[in-house]
Structure 1
Protein backbone atom coordinates (compact mmCIF):
# COMPACT_ATOMS: atom_id res chain seq x y z
CA UNK A 1 0.00 0.00 0.00
CA UNK A 2 1.12 3.55 -0.77
CA UNK A 3 1.37 5.78 2.32
CA UNK A 4 0.91 9.53 1.82
CA UNK A 5 1.59 12.13 4.50
CA UNK A 6 -0.55 15.29 4.38
CA UNK A 7 1.00 18.21 6.26
CA UNK A 8 -1.61 20.97 6.49
CA UNK A 9 -2.76 23.01 9.50
CA UNK A 10 -6.15 23.93 8.01
CA UNK A 11 -8.39 21.07 9.16
CA UNK A 12 -10.94 21.54 6.37
CA UNK A 13 -8.32 21.46 3.60
CA UNK A 14 -6.46 18.54 5.19
CA UNK A 15 -9.61 16.45 5.47
CA UNK A 16 -10.62 17.30 1.91
CA UNK A 17 -7.24 16.17 0.55
CA UNK A 18 -7.40 13.03 2.69
CA UNK A 19 -10.90 12.21 1.43
CA UNK A 20 -9.91 12.31 -2.24
CA UNK A 21 -6.66 10.39 -1.71
CA UNK A 22 -8.41 7.69 0.31
CA UNK A 23 -10.93 7.32 -2.52
CA UNK A 24 -7.98 6.34 -4.74
CA UNK A 25 -6.92 3.63 -2.30
CA UNK A 26 -3.98 5.45 -0.67
CA UNK A 27 -3.22 5.10 3.03
CA UNK A 28 -3.26 8.63 4.47
CA UNK A 29 -1.29 9.92 7.45
CA UNK A 30 -2.08 13.44 8.70
CA UNK A 31 -0.11 16.15 10.49
CA UNK A 32 -0.98 19.75 11.36
CA UNK A 33 2.51 21.09 12.08
CA UNK A 34 6.04 20.84 10.75
CA UNK A 35 7.74 19.33 13.78
CA UNK A 36 5.21 16.51 13.99
CA UNK A 37 5.56 15.90 10.26
CA UNK A 38 9.33 15.37 10.54
CA UNK A 39 8.76 12.95 13.42
CA UNK A 40 6.42 10.93 11.22
CA UNK A 41 8.86 10.99 8.29
CA UNK A 42 11.64 9.68 10.53
CA UNK A 43 9.54 6.93 12.12
CA UNK A 44 7.24 5.64 9.36
CA UNK A 45 7.51 4.49 5.75
CA UNK A 46 6.08 7.39 3.74
CA UNK A 47 5.91 7.22 -0.06
CA UNK A 48 4.92 10.84 -0.78
CA UNK A 49 4.38 14.07 1.15
CA UNK A 50 1.71 16.69 0.40
CA UNK A 51 3.22 19.71 2.15
CA UNK A 52 1.76 23.12 2.95
CA UNK A 53 4.23 26.01 3.35
CA UNK A 54 2.57 28.05 6.11
CA UNK A 55 2.72 25.74 9.14
CA UNK A 56 3.14 26.15 12.91
CA UNK A 57 6.40 25.22 14.68
CA UNK A 58 8.35 24.49 11.48
CA UNK A 59 7.24 25.87 8.12
CA UNK A 60 7.13 23.92 4.88
CA UNK A 61 10.58 25.12 3.83
CA UNK A 62 12.13 23.66 6.99
CA UNK A 63 10.23 20.41 6.58
CA UNK A 64 11.33 20.13 2.95
CA UNK A 65 14.96 20.68 3.92
CA UNK A 66 14.64 18.13 6.73
CA UNK A 67 13.26 15.50 4.37
CA UNK A 68 15.89 16.13 1.71
CA UNK A 69 18.79 15.71 4.14
CA UNK A 70 18.16 11.96 4.23
CA UNK A 71 15.41 10.99 1.77
CA UNK A 72 14.27 11.30 -1.85
CA UNK A 73 10.59 11.00 -0.89
CA UNK A 74 8.48 12.87 -3.50
CA UNK A 75 7.18 16.20 -2.19
CA UNK A 76 4.15 18.08 -3.55
CA UNK A 77 4.06 21.58 -2.07
CA UNK A 78 0.67 23.22 -1.55
CA UNK A 79 0.46 26.93 -0.81
CA UNK A 80 -1.65 30.03 -1.17
CA UNK A 81 1.34 31.89 -2.56
CA UNK A 82 1.38 32.32 -6.34
CA UNK A 83 4.58 34.35 -6.73
CA UNK A 84 7.21 32.91 -9.08
CA UNK A 85 9.99 33.31 -6.50
CA UNK A 86 8.07 31.08 -4.07
CA UNK A 87 7.83 28.34 -6.71
CA UNK A 88 11.54 28.65 -7.45
CA UNK A 89 12.40 28.50 -3.74
CA UNK A 90 10.37 25.32 -3.32
CA UNK A 91 11.99 23.64 -6.30
CA UNK A 92 15.48 24.68 -5.21
CA UNK A 93 14.87 23.17 -1.78
CA UNK A 94 13.96 19.86 -3.36
CA UNK A 95 10.18 19.91 -3.87
CA UNK A 96 9.11 17.81 -6.85
CA UNK A 97 5.95 19.67 -7.80
CA UNK A 98 3.92 22.70 -6.75
CA UNK A 99 0.19 23.50 -6.68
CA UNK A 100 -1.44 26.73 -5.50
CA UNK A 101 -4.60 27.22 -3.45
CA UNK A 102 -7.40 27.23 -4.35
CA UNK A 103 -6.95 24.00 -6.30
CA UNK A 104 -9.12 21.31 -7.82
CA UNK A 105 -8.71 18.22 -5.60
CA UNK A 106 -8.83 16.02 -8.71
CA UNK A 107 -5.83 17.91 -10.10
CA UNK A 108 -3.99 17.33 -6.83
CA UNK A 109 -4.74 13.59 -7.04
CA UNK A 110 -3.48 13.55 -10.64
CA UNK A 111 -0.25 15.26 -9.60
CA UNK A 112 0.22 12.79 -6.75
CA UNK A 113 -0.18 9.86 -9.14
CA UNK A 114 2.26 11.42 -11.60
CA UNK A 115 4.88 11.89 -8.88
CA UNK A 116 4.49 8.29 -7.74
CA UNK A 117 4.91 7.08 -11.33
CA UNK A 118 8.09 9.13 -11.69
CA UNK A 119 9.44 7.75 -8.42
CA UNK A 120 8.85 4.18 -9.59
CA UNK A 121 10.58 4.84 -12.90
CA UNK A 122 13.62 6.56 -11.47
CA UNK A 123 14.04 3.90 -8.77
CA UNK A 124 14.49 1.39 -11.60
CA UNK A 125 16.90 3.77 -13.39
CA UNK A 126 14.68 3.59 -16.45
CA UNK A 127 12.57 6.35 -18.02
CA UNK A 128 10.39 5.63 -21.03
CA UNK A 129 7.99 7.61 -23.20
CA UNK A 130 6.97 7.14 -26.79
CA UNK A 131 9.71 5.40 -28.76
CA UNK A 132 12.41 6.57 -26.37
CA UNK A 133 13.96 4.71 -23.42
CA UNK A 134 16.58 6.34 -21.20
CA UNK A 135 18.49 3.71 -19.25
CA UNK A 136 20.72 4.88 -16.38
CA UNK A 137 22.07 1.36 -15.88
CA UNK A 138 23.82 1.37 -19.27
CA UNK A 139 23.97 5.16 -19.82
CA UNK A 140 22.24 4.70 -23.16
CA UNK A 141 19.24 6.20 -24.92
CA UNK A 142 17.25 3.91 -27.20
CA UNK A 143 15.04 5.38 -29.92
CA UNK A 144 13.14 2.57 -31.58
CA UNK A 145 15.83 0.09 -32.61
CA UNK A 146 18.64 2.65 -32.52
CA UNK A 147 20.91 3.14 -29.51
CA UNK A 148 22.48 6.53 -28.78
CA UNK A 149 25.46 6.78 -26.45
CA UNK A 150 26.07 10.11 -24.74
CA UNK A 151 28.98 11.63 -22.80
CA UNK A 152 28.31 11.08 -19.08
CA UNK A 153 27.31 14.63 -18.16
CA UNK A 154 24.97 14.97 -21.13
CA UNK A 155 23.32 11.69 -20.19
CA UNK A 156 22.97 12.64 -16.52
CA UNK A 157 21.45 15.99 -17.49
CA UNK A 158 18.96 14.33 -19.82
CA UNK A 159 18.05 11.66 -17.26
CA UNK A 160 17.50 14.31 -14.57
CA UNK A 161 15.12 16.30 -16.77
CA UNK A 162 13.36 13.19 -18.12
CA UNK A 163 12.80 11.80 -14.61
CA UNK A 164 10.63 14.83 -13.82
CA UNK A 165 8.80 15.76 -17.04
CA UNK A 166 7.20 19.22 -17.04
CA UNK A 167 9.13 20.24 -13.90
CA UNK A 168 11.26 23.36 -14.20
CA UNK A 169 14.88 23.11 -13.04
CA UNK A 170 16.98 26.21 -12.51
CA UNK A 171 20.57 26.25 -13.76
CA UNK A 172 21.86 26.21 -10.18
CA UNK A 173 19.75 23.14 -9.38
CA UNK A 174 21.10 21.30 -12.41
CA UNK A 175 24.68 22.31 -11.61
CA UNK A 176 24.34 20.98 -8.06
CA UNK A 177 22.67 17.70 -9.10
CA UNK A 178 24.88 16.93 -12.12
CA UNK A 179 28.22 18.59 -11.47
CA UNK A 180 28.08 18.76 -7.66
CA UNK A 181 28.13 21.51 -5.05
CA UNK A 182 31.88 21.97 -5.44
CA UNK A 183 31.64 22.88 -9.13
CA UNK A 184 33.53 26.13 -9.78
CA UNK A 185 32.72 26.66 -13.46
CA UNK A 186 30.10 28.81 -15.13
CA UNK A 187 26.34 28.20 -14.87
CA UNK A 188 26.31 28.60 -18.66
CA UNK A 189 27.85 25.13 -18.78
CA UNK A 190 24.25 23.93 -18.49
CA UNK A 191 23.26 25.94 -21.57
CA UNK A 192 26.07 24.39 -23.61
CA UNK A 193 25.03 20.86 -22.67
CA UNK A 194 21.35 21.61 -23.36
CA UNK A 195 22.30 22.92 -26.80
CA UNK A 196 24.20 19.70 -27.53
CA UNK A 197 21.27 17.53 -26.37
CA UNK A 198 18.86 19.43 -28.57
CA UNK A 199 21.16 19.05 -31.54
CA UNK A 200 21.37 15.30 -30.95
CA UNK A 201 17.68 14.59 -30.43
CA UNK A 202 15.55 17.23 -32.12
CA UNK A 203 15.76 15.41 -35.45
CA UNK A 204 15.79 11.88 -34.00
CA UNK A 205 12.68 11.68 -31.86
CA UNK A 206 9.44 13.55 -31.41
CA UNK A 207 8.77 11.92 -28.03
CA UNK A 208 10.18 14.83 -26.02
CA UNK A 209 11.62 18.30 -26.26
CA UNK A 210 13.69 20.41 -23.88
CA UNK A 211 12.05 23.77 -23.31
CA UNK A 212 13.70 26.96 -22.10
CA UNK A 213 11.68 28.80 -19.44
CA UNK A 214 12.86 32.39 -19.68
CA UNK A 215 14.24 33.71 -16.41
CA UNK A 216 13.91 30.31 -14.69
CA UNK A 217 15.68 27.41 -16.39
CA UNK A 218 14.72 24.30 -18.34
CA UNK A 219 12.14 21.56 -18.40
CA UNK A 220 11.56 18.44 -20.50
CA UNK A 221 8.14 18.16 -22.12
CA UNK A 222 6.79 14.81 -23.27
CA UNK A 223 5.15 15.34 -26.65
CA UNK A 224 3.76 11.85 -27.28
Structure 2
Protein backbone atom coordinates (compact mmCIF):
# COMPACT_ATOMS: atom_id res chain seq x y z
CA UNK A 1 0.00 0.00 0.00
CA UNK A 2 1.32 3.45 -0.95
CA UNK A 3 1.94 5.84 1.96
CA UNK A 4 0.81 9.45 1.64
CA UNK A 5 1.13 12.32 4.11
CA UNK A 6 -1.78 14.74 4.48
CA UNK A 7 -1.00 17.98 6.32
CA UNK A 8 -4.42 19.46 7.04
CA UNK A 9 -5.89 21.10 10.15
CA UNK A 10 -9.55 20.61 9.18
CA UNK A 11 -10.36 17.36 10.99
CA UNK A 12 -13.49 16.57 9.00
CA UNK A 13 -11.79 17.16 5.67
CA UNK A 14 -8.78 15.10 6.76
CA UNK A 15 -11.03 12.20 7.74
CA UNK A 16 -12.92 12.41 4.45
CA UNK A 17 -9.72 12.41 2.39
CA UNK A 18 -8.15 9.66 4.49
CA UNK A 19 -11.21 7.41 4.16
CA UNK A 20 -11.71 8.05 0.43
CA UNK A 21 -8.08 7.45 -0.50
CA UNK A 22 -7.94 4.30 1.68
CA UNK A 23 -10.73 2.86 -0.49
CA UNK A 24 -8.43 3.34 -3.48
CA UNK A 25 -5.35 1.68 -2.05
CA UNK A 26 -3.55 4.49 -0.25
CA UNK A 27 -2.51 4.64 3.40
CA UNK A 28 -2.89 8.28 4.48
CA UNK A 29 -0.99 9.57 7.51
CA UNK A 30 -2.44 12.82 8.85
CA UNK A 31 -0.68 15.72 10.57
CA UNK A 32 -2.83 18.64 11.71
CA UNK A 33 -0.14 21.15 12.69
CA UNK A 34 2.36 22.93 10.49
CA UNK A 35 5.07 23.01 13.15
CA UNK A 36 5.05 19.20 13.37
CA UNK A 37 4.84 18.53 9.63
CA UNK A 38 8.55 18.13 8.87
CA UNK A 39 8.92 15.64 11.72
CA UNK A 40 5.93 13.71 10.40
CA UNK A 41 7.39 13.72 6.88
CA UNK A 42 10.73 12.35 8.05
CA UNK A 43 8.97 9.65 10.07
CA UNK A 44 6.53 8.52 7.35
CA UNK A 45 8.73 8.99 4.26
CA UNK A 46 5.64 9.14 2.04
CA UNK A 47 5.44 8.71 -1.72
CA UNK A 48 3.54 12.03 -1.93
CA UNK A 49 2.61 14.97 0.31
CA UNK A 50 -0.78 16.71 0.31
CA UNK A 51 -0.33 20.12 1.93
CA UNK A 52 -2.93 22.62 3.04
CA UNK A 53 -1.58 26.16 3.05
CA UNK A 54 -3.53 27.44 6.09
CA UNK A 55 -2.15 25.65 9.15
CA UNK A 56 -1.69 26.30 12.87
CA UNK A 57 1.85 26.52 14.17
CA UNK A 58 3.45 27.23 10.81
CA UNK A 59 2.14 28.38 7.45
CA UNK A 60 1.98 26.04 4.47
CA UNK A 61 4.03 28.19 2.11
CA UNK A 62 7.11 28.13 4.34
CA UNK A 63 6.60 24.39 4.75
CA UNK A 64 6.36 24.03 0.98
CA UNK A 65 9.71 25.78 0.58
CA UNK A 66 11.43 23.54 3.13
CA UNK A 67 9.89 20.29 1.89
CA UNK A 68 10.80 21.04 -1.71
CA UNK A 69 14.34 21.89 -0.61
CA UNK A 70 14.66 18.60 1.27
CA UNK A 71 13.05 16.08 -1.04
CA UNK A 72 11.95 15.37 -4.61
CA UNK A 73 8.77 13.65 -3.34
CA UNK A 74 5.78 15.16 -5.22
CA UNK A 75 3.92 17.86 -3.31
CA UNK A 76 0.26 18.63 -3.96
CA UNK A 77 -1.20 21.84 -2.50
CA UNK A 78 -4.75 22.40 -1.27
CA UNK A 79 -5.59 26.05 -1.82
CA UNK A 80 -8.46 28.44 -2.46
CA UNK A 81 -6.35 31.39 -3.61
CA UNK A 82 -4.89 32.01 -7.09
CA UNK A 83 -2.08 34.00 -5.48
CA UNK A 84 -1.17 31.06 -3.23
CA UNK A 85 -1.31 28.67 -6.19
CA UNK A 86 1.29 30.71 -8.07
CA UNK A 87 3.46 31.26 -4.98
CA UNK A 88 3.37 27.57 -4.11
CA UNK A 89 4.35 26.57 -7.64
CA UNK A 90 7.18 29.10 -7.55
CA UNK A 91 8.41 27.50 -4.31
CA UNK A 92 8.50 24.05 -5.89
CA UNK A 93 5.07 22.46 -5.45
CA UNK A 94 4.15 20.07 -8.25
CA UNK A 95 0.39 20.61 -8.49
CA UNK A 96 -2.61 21.94 -6.64
CA UNK A 97 -6.27 21.18 -5.97
CA UNK A 98 -8.70 24.01 -5.38
CA UNK A 99 -10.88 24.01 -2.27
CA UNK A 100 -13.55 22.87 -1.62
CA UNK A 101 -11.82 19.60 -2.40
CA UNK A 102 -13.54 17.20 -4.78
CA UNK A 103 -12.27 13.71 -3.82
CA UNK A 104 -12.31 12.36 -7.39
CA UNK A 105 -10.25 15.31 -8.63
CA UNK A 106 -7.80 14.87 -5.75
CA UNK A 107 -7.45 11.17 -6.53
CA UNK A 108 -6.83 11.88 -10.22
CA UNK A 109 -4.12 14.44 -9.41
CA UNK A 110 -2.44 12.05 -6.97
CA UNK A 111 -2.43 9.23 -9.52
CA UNK A 112 -1.02 11.55 -12.19
CA UNK A 113 1.82 12.73 -9.94
CA UNK A 114 2.73 9.21 -8.85
CA UNK A 115 2.56 7.97 -12.44
CA UNK A 116 5.19 10.54 -13.36
CA UNK A 117 7.52 8.89 -10.84
CA UNK A 118 7.33 5.51 -12.60
CA UNK A 119 9.96 4.39 -15.13
CA UNK A 120 9.02 5.20 -18.71
CA UNK A 121 11.00 5.85 -21.87
CA UNK A 122 14.61 5.66 -20.64
CA UNK A 123 16.24 7.06 -23.79
CA UNK A 124 18.86 9.64 -22.82
CA UNK A 125 18.78 12.95 -24.69
CA UNK A 126 21.67 15.26 -25.59
CA UNK A 127 21.43 18.77 -27.04
CA UNK A 128 24.83 20.44 -27.09
CA UNK A 129 25.72 21.13 -23.45
CA UNK A 130 22.35 19.92 -22.15
CA UNK A 131 21.94 16.24 -21.21
CA UNK A 132 18.81 14.56 -19.85
CA UNK A 133 18.95 11.12 -18.20
CA UNK A 134 15.35 9.88 -17.59
CA UNK A 135 16.47 6.71 -15.78
CA UNK A 136 18.22 8.67 -13.04
CA UNK A 137 16.02 11.76 -13.39
CA UNK A 138 19.19 13.78 -13.89
CA UNK A 139 19.84 16.90 -15.97
CA UNK A 140 23.27 18.38 -16.60
CA UNK A 141 24.21 21.62 -18.33
CA UNK A 142 27.83 21.95 -19.36
CA UNK A 143 28.65 18.90 -17.23
CA UNK A 144 27.16 20.45 -14.07
CA UNK A 145 24.17 18.87 -12.35
CA UNK A 146 21.05 21.00 -12.61
CA UNK A 147 18.74 20.42 -9.61
CA UNK A 148 15.12 20.41 -10.79
CA UNK A 149 11.83 19.87 -8.98
CA UNK A 150 9.60 17.04 -10.23
CA UNK A 151 7.36 19.26 -12.36
CA UNK A 152 10.37 21.11 -13.80
CA UNK A 153 12.08 17.87 -14.79
CA UNK A 154 8.95 16.37 -16.33
CA UNK A 155 8.15 19.51 -18.32
CA UNK A 156 11.71 19.89 -19.62
CA UNK A 157 11.80 16.21 -20.59
CA UNK A 158 8.43 16.49 -22.36
CA UNK A 159 9.54 19.55 -24.34
CA UNK A 160 12.91 17.97 -25.17
CA UNK A 161 11.24 14.79 -26.45
CA UNK A 162 9.21 17.05 -28.73
CA UNK A 163 12.16 19.27 -29.74
CA UNK A 164 11.36 21.64 -32.60
CA UNK A 165 7.61 21.17 -32.14
CA UNK A 166 5.28 23.78 -30.63
CA UNK A 167 3.39 22.32 -27.65
CA UNK A 168 0.23 24.03 -26.47
CA UNK A 169 -0.65 24.43 -22.79
CA UNK A 170 -3.50 22.00 -23.40
CA UNK A 171 -1.13 19.33 -24.76
CA UNK A 172 1.34 19.90 -21.92
CA UNK A 173 -1.29 19.68 -19.17
CA UNK A 174 -2.83 16.58 -20.75
CA UNK A 175 0.57 14.90 -20.92
CA UNK A 176 1.67 15.81 -17.40
CA UNK A 177 -1.57 15.94 -15.41
CA UNK A 178 -4.27 14.39 -17.56
CA UNK A 179 -6.40 17.56 -17.63
CA UNK A 180 -7.29 20.21 -20.18
CA UNK A 181 -6.16 23.83 -19.94
CA UNK A 182 -9.03 25.87 -18.45
CA UNK A 183 -7.66 29.31 -19.31
CA UNK A 184 -6.72 29.99 -15.66
CA UNK A 185 -4.16 27.33 -14.76
CA UNK A 186 -0.77 28.98 -14.27
CA UNK A 187 1.31 25.89 -13.49
CA UNK A 188 2.85 25.57 -16.97
CA UNK A 189 3.77 29.26 -17.26
CA UNK A 190 5.22 29.34 -13.75
CA UNK A 191 7.31 26.21 -14.37
CA UNK A 192 8.55 27.52 -17.72
CA UNK A 193 9.73 30.68 -15.95
CA UNK A 194 11.60 28.65 -13.35
CA UNK A 195 13.20 26.46 -16.01
CA UNK A 196 14.37 29.48 -17.98
CA UNK A 197 16.03 30.95 -14.89
CA UNK A 198 17.86 27.69 -14.14
CA UNK A 199 18.86 27.17 -17.78
CA UNK A 200 20.18 30.71 -18.23
CA UNK A 201 17.43 31.47 -20.72
CA UNK A 202 15.95 34.60 -19.17
CA UNK A 203 15.37 37.88 -20.89
CA UNK A 204 12.81 39.40 -23.20
CA UNK A 205 13.60 36.93 -25.98
CA UNK A 206 14.15 33.45 -24.55
CA UNK A 207 15.83 31.32 -27.20
CA UNK A 208 16.14 27.86 -25.64
CA UNK A 209 12.49 27.47 -24.61
CA UNK A 210 10.64 29.87 -26.87
CA UNK A 211 7.17 31.31 -26.41
CA UNK A 212 5.15 31.03 -29.61
CA UNK A 213 2.41 33.57 -28.94
CA UNK A 214 -1.09 32.17 -29.14
CA UNK A 215 0.21 28.62 -29.64
CA UNK A 216 2.46 27.47 -26.80
CA UNK A 217 6.11 26.66 -26.16
CA UNK A 218 8.92 25.31 -28.31
CA UNK A 219 12.16 23.63 -27.22
CA UNK A 220 14.92 24.79 -29.60
CA UNK A 221 17.33 21.87 -30.18
CA UNK A 222 20.08 24.01 -31.71
CA UNK A 223 20.42 26.57 -28.92
CA UNK A 224 22.46 24.57 -26.39
CA UNK A 225 26.00 24.88 -27.69
CA UNK A 226 27.04 27.96 -25.68
TM-score norm. by structure 2 comes to 0.66
CA deviations on 1:160-205 (whole Å, 9 max, x unpaired) are 43468254142441134x42xxx5x63346x312239x8xxxxxxx
1:161 alignment partner in structure 2: 156
RMSD: 2.9
2-structure distance, mates of 1:103, 1:29 = 18
Kept in 2, the 8 Å contact 1:172–1:187? The answer is no
2:101 alignment partner in structure 1: 103
2:63 alignment partner in structure 1: 63
SS state at 1:168 partner: helix
Kept in 2, the 8 Å contact 1:91–1:169? The answer is no
Matched positions, count: 172
Gaps of 5+ in 1: 127-132, 140-148, 199-209, 213-217, 219-224
CA deviations on 1:84-132 (whole Å, 9 max, x unpaired) are x3221110111000111113211100100100011224xxxx4xxxxxx
User: Bigger shift: 70-79 or 153-162?
Assistant: 153-162
Kept in 1, the 8 Å contact 2:8–2:52? The answer is yes
Kept in 2, the 8 Å contact 1:7–1:51? The answer is yes
Kept in 2, the 8 Å contact 1:9–1:31? The answer is yes
1-structure distance, mates of 2:189, 2:122 = 19
TM-score norm. by structure 1 comes to 0.66
Shift of 1:211: 2.7
Kept in 1, the 8 Å contact 2:97–2:106? The answer is yes
